């Protein structure tokens, strides 16, 4: 039986999503819990995509095949019993064998948070600590350049040699969080993102916010397709995969 699982995690204590030898990763901890539930038979968990070391998720989607007879609700409860308290399964549903977590994604939403005020120990795991105010109006202008279909080659990592860097961003916003007035939140929604793309886009937005470059320069860098023109990759801890929407047929089951 194939199950689709929606789960959230705080990435602080993990070496990213993907399984790695001898390192604690989200995938390995999830698969260990699934192994116990599946009567000690190995289970492979296929996710919608990786998240990097230190990145959080409110809604990650994955699927797996289990041999054991179990209802979706029982699977959710059993997983949450075995999982540590920084991973939580929100929903589990039964899906047909056509389903694959990677290919049934309609869109993903990422949020990136920057604390422009003084360090706050209660928020330290969830923000990039910037310490100084950023020009939010200019960042709001700049972020609009990312909306639409673009070749994001300038926003991948230098060692990335992907043939196709064309992606479409449907929504890109920059807002102050009403509950944390020192925190600026970037939201990006799109069908898919390249590795480090969000953190690299945020890196250049920070340059806009500090006044090092003008908002219009972001459009130029995007068009240049030249990675060397971009800024630093923003740190992982500010990034959260906040939502994944599946194609309607499966999303209806998840809602």
**Cβ distance to a copy of itself smaller for residue 86 or 220:** 86
DSSP string, 95-122: E-TT--TTTSEEEEEEEEEEE-SS--TT
Closest separation in Å from C-beta 231 to a copy of itself: 25
Residue 172 CB, shortest distance to a copy of itself, in Å, is 19
What Rg value do the Cα atoms of the chain yield, rounded?
19
- Identity of the residue, 8 or 173, whose beta carbon is nearer to a copy of itself in the bound complex: 8
Is 120 an active-site residue? no
Question: Using CB under 8 A as the criterion, which residues of the chain lie in contact with a copy of itself when the complex forms?
Answer: 8-10, 56, 58, 80, 85-88, 90, 118-122, 124, 126, 177-180, 240
What minimum distance in Å lies between the beta carbon of 165 and a copy of itself?
30
Residue nearer to a copy of itself on the CB measure, 122 or 252: 122
Count the alpha carbons within 13 Å of 109 in the hemisphere toward its beta carbon: 14
Nearest residue (CB) to a copy of itself, 84 versus 211 = 84
**Which of 153, 198, 209, 203 lies closest to 176 in space, CA to CA?**
209
In three-state secondary structure terms, 170 is strand
Among residues 55 and 143, whose Cβ is nearest to a copy of itself? Answer: 55
Closest separation between CB of residue 169 and a copy of itself, Å?
23
Residues 185 and 172 sit within 8 Å (Cβ to Cβ) = no
Question: Using alpha carbons only, what angle is made at residue 13 by residues 10 and 15, rounded to the nearest 5 degrees?
Answer: 100
Distance in Å, CB of 115 to a copy of itself, minimum: 12
CA distance 53 to 55: 6
In whole angstroms, what is the distance from residue 44 CA to residue 167 CA?
A: 28
The catalytic residue among 52, 65, 86, 177 is 52
| Closest to 50 measured CA to CA, from 161, 250, 193 | 193
Measured CA to CA, the distance from residue 199 to residue 14 in angstroms comes to: 18
Residues designated as active site: 52
């Amino acid at each position: 039986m194939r199950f689709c699982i929606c789960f959230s995690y705080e990435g602080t204590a993990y070496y990213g999503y993907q399984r790695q030898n001898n390192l604690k990763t989200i995938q390995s901890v999830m698969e260990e819990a699934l192994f116990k539930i599946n009567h000690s038979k190995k289970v492979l968990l296929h996710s919608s995509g990786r998240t990097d070391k230190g990145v959080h998720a409110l809604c990650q989607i994955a699927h797996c095949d289990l041999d054991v007879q179990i209802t979706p609700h029982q699977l959710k409860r059993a997983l949450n019993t075995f999982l540590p308290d920084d991973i939580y399964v929100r929903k589990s549903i039964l899906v047909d064998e056509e389903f694959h977590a990677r290919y049934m994604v309609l869109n993903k939403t990422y949020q990136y948070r920057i604390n422009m005020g003084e360090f706050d120990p209660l928020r330290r795991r969830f923000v990039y600590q910037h310490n100084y105010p950023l020009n939010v109006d200019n960042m709001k202008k700049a972020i609009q350049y990312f909306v639409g279909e673009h070749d994001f080659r300038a926003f991948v990592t230098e060692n990335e040699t992907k043939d196709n860097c064309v992606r479409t961003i449907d929504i890109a916003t920059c807002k102050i969080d009403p509950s944390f007035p020192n925190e600026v939140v970037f939201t990006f929604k799109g069908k898919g993102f390249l590795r480090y793309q969000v953190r690299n886009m945020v890196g250049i937005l920070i340059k806009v916010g500090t006044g090092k470059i003008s908002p219009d320069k972001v459009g130029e860098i995007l068009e240049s397709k030249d990675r060397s023109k971009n800024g630093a990759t923003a740190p992982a801890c500010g990034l959260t995969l906040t939502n994944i929407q599946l194609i309607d047929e499966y999303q209806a089951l998840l809602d």
